[in-house]
């Protein structure tokens, strides 16, 4: 059974109705920013809320209200005020936790492996790294490392690839559950064009996925994502069975890769000559639709972007990975113009770090190369609510709307001497946000909270 967002608590009624005994209250004071919609290229003021002396009131892990400190603290009923834990983050930026819409937790150990493009990189680095997770203890170590580093960078929700081994998903989701995170994960489906040790079969892949779904999907904040690696490493039978399972279970998610690299495109054309193109392979096998997210989506025509958008599928924009592997430039503006849902993603291990702030810097650089520079407010939307929308999780996370799960990150504007120097010379919020993105430093993350509670703190 899938959990639903709670109806929002009504702050207006708070004075008359004292909170039930035992309710846990958290009160945060800081510079609170969140988004209600995409602010677009012109920073639409209706799309975001910023409270310079702001407050976030959390009850039992859910947002009650975000607003000006004076108003929120005045609305607090005495019992809640007395019981509340106060986090004083004045002068710090408080944002919804970052949402990383695509990464491979098993690949953290190959970040920064030199000098290959996608297909050679998979063969030379990726598959050997993933083969190590045949050992459960290696999977457990990799999962613990990835979750800790995600939190250290302010990421609280992600769509995560395991490896072909079912226990890789058990290892990751067990850590995510222990940290109370909202996470998606799936076992890689891969029954051809890969080392024998990483190959499943069409039938065993589905059987293992069904077992994992029964164990994890809808348990607490966790959900299962069907994970066919990409068209070249699955037989038509595996793709068909995956599409059929996805169609029969509309509550499931699905994640894969699409149109990342030109040699990959040529390979897909050779393997599926009867299909009109890469996207058409996925359309044919039922791998598009709401809750499907495909990473990269670089080499698509406008018509394909529109087809993908109409299906409800989303694209994960992986700028650091695309620069690193020399894959090309994702056209964010053209994708939005086609109506696509777009989230931001590190794509570790082709990505170069766990942080979505440096990833945003790369997104800006890629958008510049495409002639449509990404504004700072839109960038922060992309890293929070935009990602949640791309994963169809925006009823739960991505903003501080009442009733949302209170995952948030606290950022230091001046964590490095360069940032401090630059911030002294900024005049507006967009200017400050932009400088924060471009000069991003891991020290910017002061704390990460999950369901209101501190989950990670800067040393």
C-beta of 391 vs 411, nearer to Zn ion: 391
How is residue 129 written in tokens? Answer: 């790294």
Q: Which of 170, 191, 200, 260 binds ligand GUN (CB under 6 A)?
A: 260
CA–CA separation, 220 and 182 (whole Å): 8
347 makes contact with ligand GUN (CB under 6 A): yes
C-beta of 31 vs 225, nearer to Zn ion: 225
* Residue 396-435 contact track with ligand GUN, rule CB under 6 A, x = bound: ----------------------------------------
Name the segment binding Zn ion (CB under 5 A); options: 144-152, 261-269, 293-301, 333-341: 293-301
Nearest Cα residue to 387 out of 170, 72, 165, 97: 97
C-beta of 30 vs 205, nearer to Zn ion: 205
347 makes contact with Zn ion (CB under 5 A): yes
**What is each CA distance from 19 to 8, 27, 65, 75, 407, in whole angstroms?**
13, 14, 14, 13, 21
Q: Contacts with ligand GUN: how many residues (CB under 6 A)?
A: 11
Q: How far is the CB of 194 from ligand GUN (least distance, A)?
A: 10
- Angle, in degrees to the nearest 10, between helices 236-248 and 202-216: 30
How is residue 305 written in tokens? Answer: 């972007």
Name the segment binding ligand GUN (CB under 6 A); options: 76-84, 118-126, 151-159, 372-380: 118-126
Using an 8 Å Cβ cutoff, are 259 and 327 in contact? no
Place of tokens 């698509």: 300
Q: How far is the CB of 296 from Zn ion (least distance, A)?
A: 8
How is residue 452 written in tokens? Answer: 């209101």
126 makes contact with ligand GUN (CB under 6 A): yes
Contacts 24+ apart (CB under 8 A), 121-127: 121/325, 121/350, 125/349, 126/349, 127/194, 127/195, 127/198
Partner residues linked to 254 by β-bridges: 226, 292
Nearest Cα residue to 222 out of 251, 247, 199: 251
Which partner in ligand GUN, Zn ion, none is near 321 (CB below 5 to 8 A by kind)? ligand GUN
321 makes contact with ligand GUN (CB under 6 A): yes
Using an 8 Å Cβ cutoff, are 171 and 134 in contact? no
C-beta of 157 vs 352, nearer to ligand GUN: 352
CA–CA separation, 122 and 131 (whole Å): 12
Using an 8 Å Cβ cutoff, are 191 and 238 in contact? yes
230 makes contact with ligand GUN (CB under 6 A): yes
Which partner in ligand GUN, Zn ion, none is near 167 (CB below 5 to 8 A by kind)? none
Name the segment binding Zn ion (CB under 5 A); options: 124-132, 243-251, 260-268, 295-303: 295-303
Q: Which of 25, 29, 87, 104 binds ligand GUN (CB under 6 A)?
A: 104
Q: How far is the CB of 340 from Zn ion (least distance, A)?
A: 18
- Angle, in degrees to the nearest 10, between helices 202-216 and 166-178: 20
Using an 8 Å Cβ cutoff, are 186 and 224 in contact? yes
CB-count exposure of residue 339 (10 Å: 0-12, 13-18, 19+):
exposed
Q: How far is the CB of 269 from ligand GUN (least distance, A)?
A: 16
Q: How far is the CB of 143 from ligand GUN (least distance, A)?
A: 17
Q: How far is the CB of 122 from Zn ion (least distance, A)?
A: 10
Using an 8 Å Cβ cutoff, are 185 and 146 in contact? no
448 makes contact with ligand GUN (CB under 6 A): no
CA–CA separation, 316 and 297 (whole Å): 8
Neighbours of 378 (CB within 10 A): 28
Which partner in ligand GUN, Zn ion, none is near 260 (CB below 5 to 8 A by kind)? ligand GUN
Name the segment binding Zn ion (CB under 5 A); options: 16-24, 150-158, 345-353, 397-405: 345-353
Which partner in Zn ion, ligand GUN, none is near 229 (CB below 5 to 8 A by kind)? ligand GUN
Residues that bind Zn ion (CB under 5 A): 295, 347
Residues that bind ligand GUN (CB under 6 A): 104, 118, 122, 126, 229-230, 257, 260, 321, 347, 350
């Amino acid at each position: 059974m899938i959990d639903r967002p709670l109806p929002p608590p009504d702050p207006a009624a708070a004075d008359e109705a004292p909170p039930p005994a035992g309710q846990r209250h958290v009160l945060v004071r800081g510079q609170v920013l969140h988004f209600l919609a995409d602010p677009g290229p012109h920073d639409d003021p209706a799309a975001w809320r910023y409270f310079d002396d702001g407050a976030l009131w959390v009850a039992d892990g859910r947002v009650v209200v975000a607003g000006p400190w004076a108003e929120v603290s005045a609305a607090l009923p005495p019992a809640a005020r007395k019981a509340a834990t106060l986090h004083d983050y004045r002068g710090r930026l408080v944002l919804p936790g970052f949402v990383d819409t695509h990464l491979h937790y098993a690949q953290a150990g190959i970040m920064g492996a030199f000098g290959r493009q996608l297909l050679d990189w998979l063969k030379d680095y990726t598959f050997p790294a993933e083969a190590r997770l045949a050992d459960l203890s290696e999977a457990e170590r990799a999962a613990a490392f990835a979750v800790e580093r995600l939190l250290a960078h302010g990421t609280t929700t992600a769509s995560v690839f395991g490896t072909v081994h079912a226990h890789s998903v058990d290892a990751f989701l067990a850590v995510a559950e222990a940290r109370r995170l909202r996470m998606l994960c799936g076992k890689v489906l891969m029954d051809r064009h890969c080392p024998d040790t990483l190959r499943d079969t069409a039938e065993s892949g589905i059987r293992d996925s069904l077992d994992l779904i029964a164990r994890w999907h809808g348990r607490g904040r966790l959900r299962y994502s069907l994970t066919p690696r990409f068209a070249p490493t699955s037989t038509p039978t595996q793709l068909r069975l995956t599409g059929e399972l996805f169609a029969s279970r509309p509550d499931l998610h699905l994640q894969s890769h699409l149109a990342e690299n030109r040699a990959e495109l040529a390979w897909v054309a050779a393997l599926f000559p009867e299909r009109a193109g890469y996207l058409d392979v996925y359309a044919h096998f039922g791998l598009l639709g709401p809750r499907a997210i495909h990473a990269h989506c670089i080499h698509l025509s406008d018509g394909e972007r529109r087809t993908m958008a109409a299906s409800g599928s989303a694209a994960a924009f992986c700028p650091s990975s695309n620069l690193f592997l020399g894959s090309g430039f994702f056209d964010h503006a053209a994708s939005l113009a086609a109506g696509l849902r777009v989230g931001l993603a590190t794509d570790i291990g082709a990505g170069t770090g766990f942080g979505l702030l440096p990833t945003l810097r790369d997104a800006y650089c890629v958008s510049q190369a495409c002639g449509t520079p990404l504004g700072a407010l839109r960038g922060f939307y992309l890293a929070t609510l935009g990602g949640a929308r791309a994963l169809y999780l925006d009823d739960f996370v991505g903003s501080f709307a009442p009733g949302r799960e209170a995952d948030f990150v606290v950022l230091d504007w001046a964590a490095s001497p360069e940032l401090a120097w630059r911030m002294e010379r900024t005049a507006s919020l967009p200017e400050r946000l932009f400088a924060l993105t471009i000069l991003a430093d891991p020290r910017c993350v002061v704390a990460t909270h999950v369901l209101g509670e501190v989950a990670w703190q800067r040393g």
